[in-house]
Structure 1
Amino acid sequence: METSHQAHHTEESLDNLHSGFHHMQAAHCENGVTTALLKHYGIHKLTEPLVFGIGSGLFYIQLPFMKVNGGPAISFRTMPGLIFKRTCTALGVPVTRKKYTSPQKAMQELDERLAQGKPTACQVGVFYLTYFPKEYRFHFNAHNLIVVDKQGDNYIISDPIMETLVSMTSYELQRVRFAKGAFAPRGQMYYPGDNLTEATDEQIRNGIIKGIKRNCRDMLLIPGSFAGAKGIAYTGRQIKKWKNKLGDDKARAYLAQLVRMQEEIGTGGGGFRFIYGAFLQQAHAYLPIDELLDVSQQITVTGDKWRGAAIQAAGIYKGRLGSQADYDDMGNRLIEIAELEKKAFKNLQNAIKKAKSLV
């Protein structure tokens, strides 16, 4: 059934057809969808880093008693949909979100919005996205894209991961909207209100403060040892045990899972730190507290260290490394990152207390 490539328009013709919608490529799908969709409906001040920070997108958790695709259940992101919801709430933007039991109804209601010229976001599964290279297709159901228009049986898609607009047939779009498994999207579509008024600097400033406070809470104050900075250290300690506990093949597979969640699904470890560092730099324009710039540098350093950890993990699962000392090195890298992020977010906590005097 995967014949849509024959029906895909050229990149140039797609862009010409849909000049009313400005496609944006982004580092992370939900950031990109939120930024592009709000711009289309009237809010132009937001950037991807501001959306990520206001939406408190930085997160970490390892659920010790749960497995995903046979590996550890690790997430570098908040629950799907929260970045969009939190950003809209901060700006006073109404949000509609719908899930369906009937694929026919889900497609019909999407078609009705598109017929009115209203681009609409959908949560979908990645595995059957025909325009993705095969090596990027995983059973991951928290991907976000915008359906811009419908031409015959082809839906015009703005996927923030792609350089340009792409298209899918109705069969293909329905299949990814109703993918099975964890976080099954159940035809989920969502959108802001129409004809929005531009966000004020005060709204953005208050959104930044609330977003930072929430992110400090998530990285420092969640009880237990599995979430936030404590969760990163927990994973580091676990990695040191994997070789002896699981054997080489399974230990390598677990590390592959970690890197996949970190670097290939939703930007994860290093990428999220670079976005958050950019957020703190941009936040400084609204909150002129120099400590924000200091923490931005600290978070960027941890981003580099996450990338270094990914390279170390890749060396192990590809067989170039594999001794217990290599696993110890990998675990110690995460424990070091945990300590650095704990310090950075404590500094950020202190910095944001100063913000009260500026608002």
Structure 2
Amino acid sequence: MKLNFEHVQAAHCENGVTRNLLKHAGVNFITEPLAFGIGSGLFYIHLPFMKVNGGPAISFRTQPGLIFKRTAKSLDIKIIRKKFSSEEEAQKALDECLQQGQPAGCQVGVYYLTYFPKEYRFHFNAHNLVVFGKEDDNYIISDPIMEYTTTLNSYELNRVRFAKGFLAPKGQLYYPEKAKEITVEQIQRAIKKGIKLNLRDMLHIPGSFAGVSGIAYTGRKIKKWRDKLGIQKAGSYLAQIVRMQEEIGTGGGGFRFLYGAFLQEANQYFHKDELLDISKQFTQAGDQWRNAAVQASGIYKGRITSQADFDVMGDYLIKISEMEKKAFQELSKVKLDA
């Protein structure tokens, strides 16, 4: 049994799952950048009193599941989301979805995904994929960060659906109901709502840990890590940032490129040249995030380890904070009307 489901590769797992599931439900205009922007996916937070895998607790994205939830809600599409207490119950529910012709999104852990290269497997429980068929004991998988579809047997799929630890997925599955006709006015409202939420998250969260303020906060911290932690541990902290930025989705540069693409697509609905100008600013910020990742990799690989090198790394993030603050402030002034 294999459902008629279109697998399209994406830059980020939840964006891709959102796009592919909504497209299957009849939302023909949806693209990955629109899903990301309507879902207000751009975010940054550095939690100073938490550690993840022994490194700083930093996130470049909203809470897992919110991109799908916000995008569907903004387009007035009802979603079904379920969690389970047992593997048997979760597998039965998934099988019932497939029997009813409904592909299902699943939140899974990365560490035991057998089709991932070993160097990309680590303890991260907020990866997303779609199950859209079953042949004997093998489930047919659309993982949007992979070029081609693949399979997992029931043991392998249950194992990643019930991965333990932080953000444990608990067998979670989700899917949208069939979409009704969506008007241009609805799309415009959804875009405006997505931008409004991102302005809030990046400019107006109190304190110094989140949004553009959080990026500068991390930059200032990095400048102190060499003396405070020692070169080896400071390097491992930077490796953690790069992993969160470039390997768990497209957190740093890639998300900025996506947001720039979202503003370009938003311009097609509002015809505001300011959106194109601001889009370029996010692309430039994305370039700086990629430059920062190169600098960080030089440090944690031991090629550059002086205090000046840590200062350069910190300054990259402080500059990025200023660039993104300016871009979002300009975005807040754009009057979005048709």
Q: TM-score range by the shorter chain?
A: over 0.9
In 2, Cα distance between the equivalents of 1:102 and 1:18? 25
In 2, Cα distance between the equivalents of 1:283 and 1:118? 30
**1:290 shift after superposition:** 1.0
The question of 1:108 aligning with 2:77 is answered no
The question of 1:278 aligning with 2:261 is answered yes
In 2, Cα distance between the equivalents of 1:223 and 1:179? 33
State how 1:16-35 maps to structure 2 within 5 Å. Answer: 18=2, 20-35=4-19
Are the equivalent residues in 2 in contact too, given 1:52–1:83 (CA < 8 A)?
yes
From 211, 218, 241, the counterpart of 2:201: 218
From 23, 34, 44, the counterpart of 2:28: 44
In 2, Cα distance between the equivalents of 1:256 and 1:101? 35
From 287, 296, 300, the counterpart of 1:304: 287
**1:138 shift after superposition:** 1.3
Are the equivalent residues in 1 in contact too, given 2:2–2:134 (CA < 8 A)?
no
**1:19 shift after superposition:** 6.9
Are the equivalent residues in 2 in contact too, given 1:71–1:257 (CA < 8 A)?
yes
In 2, Cα distance between the equivalents of 1:48 and 1:182? 27
In 1, Cα distance between the equivalents of 2:262 and 2:327? 14
In 2, Cα distance between the equivalents of 1:152 and 1:82? 33
Deviations 1:136-191 (Å, cap 9, x if unpaired)?
11100000000001111000000001111100000000000000111000000001
Matched length: 338
In 2, Cα distance between the equivalents of 1:200 and 1:140? 38
- Unmatched 5+ stretches in structure 1: 1-16
Amino-acid identity (%): 67
The question of 1:181 aligning with 2:168 is answered no
From 130, 137, 142, the counterpart of 1:153: 137
Are the equivalent residues in 1 in contact too, given 2:80–2:176 (CA < 8 A)?
yes
Are the equivalent residues in 2 in contact too, given 1:129–1:172 (CA < 8 A)?
yes
**1:117 shift after superposition:** 1.6
Partner residue in 2 for 1:167: 151
Report the secondary structure of 1:123's partner residue. strand
From 56, 60, 66, the counterpart of 1:76: 60
State how 1:255-270 maps to structure 2 within 5 Å. Answer: 255-270=238-253
Normalised TM-score (structure 2): 0.99
Report the secondary structure of 1:156's partner residue. strand
Partner residue in 2 for 1:315: 298
Are the equivalent residues in 1 in contact too, given 2:58–2:241 (CA < 8 A)?
yes
Partner residue in 2 for 1:241: 224
Report the secondary structure of 1:65's partner residue. strand
From 62, 83, 90, the counterpart of 1:99: 83
In 2, Cα distance between the equivalents of 1:200 and 1:176? 38
Once superposed, what is the RMSD of the aligned Cα atoms? 0.9
The question of 1:67 aligning with 2:51 is answered yes
